[in-house]
Structure 1
Amino acid sequence: MLIIPVKEGENIDRALKRYKRKFVRTTVKNQLQERKQYTKPSVERRAQIQKAQYVQSLRDLEEV
């Protein structure tokens, strides 16, 4: 559960914007999306490996 303290005299729109930003950053959104649809463990591992290869290729390009 996310808690956003609202300061005295603070606009509710601003507090809502802070809540939305915190919601996205805390990976709650990702967890909810993952629970909607089941993915096989082999598919998850394959995606992780592909992501690692992609990141490594970017790092190799930075070195050159």
Structure 2
Amino acid sequence: MLIIPIKDGENIDRALKRYKRKFDKTGTVRQLRSRTAFTKPSVKRRVQIQKAAYIQGLRDSVEN
């Protein structure tokens, strides 16, 4: 459970924004969505390799 201390006179919108940011960083929603369906280990590996190749391509294009 996330606890966001609200300071005296602080705007509720600002506190809500801090809560949303903290909630997003914990990755709770991403974890729930990933658990809804089973993905085979080979598919996970393939996606991981594709992401690594994409990032490497971006880094190579920046260096040149």
What's the TM-score, normalizing by structure 1? Answer: 0.82
Deviation of 1:44 after TM superposition, in Å, equals 1.0
- 1:40-59 deviations in Å (ceiling 9; x for gaps): 12111111000000001111
Opposite residue 39 of structure 2, the aligned amino acid is T
Distance of 1:15 and 1:35 partners within structure 2: 30
Deviation of 1:26 after TM superposition, in Å, equals 2.2
Structure 2: which 5+ runs fail to align? none
* Worse overlay, 22-31 or 46-55: 22-31
Partner SS for 1:43: helix
Opposite residue 21 of structure 1, the aligned amino acid is R
- Residue 25 of structure 2 corresponds to which residue in structure 1? 25
Deviation of 1:29 after TM superposition, in Å, equals 2.2
Opposite residue 58 of structure 2, the aligned amino acid is L
Distance of 1:9 and 1:37 partners within structure 2: 44
Instruction: Give RMSD over aligned pairs.
Output: 1.4
List 4+ stretches of structure 1 deviating above 4 A: none
Q: After superposition, where does 1:1-64 map in structure 2 within 5 Å?
A: 1-64=1-64
* Worse overlay, 13-22 or 46-55: 13-22
Partner SS for 2:9: coil
